[in-house]
Chain A
Amino acid sequence: MRKRHGLGTRLWHWINAVALIVLFMSGLNISNAHRYLYWGEWGFSPDQAWLAVPSFPGWMTIPDYYSLAAARDWHVVFSWVMAVALTGYFIVSLINRHLQRDMRTTLREWKPANIWQDIRSHLRLDFDHGEGKYNFLQKAAYGLVLFILLPGMIFTGMVMSPGMEAAIPWMTDLFGGRQSARSIHFIFAFALFGFFVLHIVLVLLAGPIGQLRDMITGGREDEKA
């Protein structure tokens, strides 16, 4: 039996999608300003860097030409959209029990045999996962995104803000310093991009029209997947 996607889930999904695309593409423009990543509190030259990031071409960045000032404007605006939308999603999803009902994994699901079977059915492109809304791999991926990657982007972003750091300095220590937070921000951004690509590929494989319709209208109750 399938449950409809709640209105809160659907609204958040599309707001978050737009916010993440703007944040990612403006972030690539910001990255072009200084293409080196460091660990610890400081770092300013290539020989201190653990990674030299490639330069991203205009079609990948917002705006479509190099402008640190304009890219930061987009980043600053959509950081609020993303953070407020995620907070709202968590509040609504706790109240309507979406998190407890659909996202919580059981001990049985963590058994290697179950995980292996889930992987095999995904590889066979068999997405009929019987009872429940999401299978184990979906819950694991969505859980990683919701509870680790998205909050991680917000908190590492806050650590990079000197005004916020003065207000809550312990958060910088939590990430091992400002430049470490910047590196984690970058790694998480690409983890989210990886999720985005996989998510779209799986939607395309699982029947894009039906999946898109369900994420807009909510889908029908009791519909066999």
Chain B
Amino acid sequence: MRRRNLLAAGAAFFAAGCSKIGKTDWFGAIVDSATSWHKFSHRAIGSLPLAPEYDRADVSPFFRGNGSQTVDTDAYRAALESGFADWTLKVSGMVDRELDLSLDMLKALPQRTQVTRHDCVEGWSAIGEWTGPQLGTILDMAGIRSDARFVLFRCADTLNGAEYYESVDMADAMHPQTIVAHALNGEALPERNGAPLRVRIERQLGYKSAKYLTGVEVVDTLEGIGGGEGGYWEDRGYQWYAGI
């Protein structure tokens, strides 16, 4: 068993060394550039590729909830009781007109229904049918300023005491499959999946598709927002470009 011990000792030495390197600035810079190469290569292959869409028959029997599965406030409880009658989506930031859109207004916009696969960063997947207006329609209504670079998603939920938020670049915000979903599998969005509104970013991992959506904010920098990395999980070390 000596050889096995040697392998274990070697592995432990390697793992510990990598933990040290992983905490350095230069390794962070390499990680960022590798992430950029991935994003570049994805977008170089197709100009506006769509994530695969499935048939209604392919929908998973259950759509698992993960992360926040409710919003632990009295205001949310009351909103849930009232069927989210007063819930609004605030559109703000670098726009010509700020908007406050009620659920009914969002449902009156042209709708997109798409059956897509949700891939969690942890490794599991589920297929669901999502319905809602395209984010692009909403942003066009508000009028985005030309120097805007990112769209920020504000959420009602908190995770481990911090506000959940997310962000994408304009290419993903204006992508035809990026929708503000209010329905899953033909029913109002369940509480565990982000009722009453969530965003769907189909070409990136699940953590990008923020739940319990309260606001869409157009910005030119992510600095000074949350931890400055562009999202709740990004502030905790996860990649901002989650198409990998």
CA–CA, A59 to B13, complex, Å? 8
Q: Is A62 in the interface zone, CB < 8 Å from B?
A: yes
CA–CA, A79 to B41, complex, Å? 13
B229 to chain A, nearest CB (A): 11
Q: Is A16 in the interface zone, CB < 8 Å from B?
A: no
Q: Which residue of B22, B43, B241 contacts A73 across the interface (Cβ within 8 Å)?
A: B22
The residue among A30, A31, A44 with the most chain B CB atoms within 10 A of its own CB is A44
Q: Which residue of A30, A61, A167 contacts B46 across the interface (Cβ within 8 Å)?
A: A167
Of residues 85 through 137 on chain A, the ones whose CB sits less than 8 Å from some CB of chain B are: none
Say yes or no: A25 contacts B11, CB within 8 Å: yes
Of residues 65 through 110 on chain B, the ones whose CB sits less than 8 Å from some CB of chain A are: none
Say yes or no: A63 contacts B124, CB within 8 Å: no
CA–CA, A163 to B64, complex, Å? 22
Say yes or no: B54 contacts A41, CB within 8 Å: yes
A-B contacts counted at CB < 8 A amount to 156
Which secondary structure characterizes the binding site on chain A?
Answer: helix
Say yes or no: A34 contacts B239, CB within 8 Å: no
Chain A interfacial positions (CB closer than 8 Å to B) = 21-22, 25-26, 30-31, 33-34, 36, 38, 41-45, 58-65, 67-70, 72-74, 76-77, 79-80, 160-169, 172, 178-179, 182
A62-B15, A76-B38, A165-B203 given; name 8 further pairs at CB < 8 Å. A25-B11, A65-B19, A68-B122, A76-B31, A162-B204, A163-B243, A165-B52, A178-B117
Q: Which A-B residue pairs are the 6 nearest by beta carbons?
A: A163-B243, A69-B237, A163-B42, A63-B19, A64-B15, A34-B123
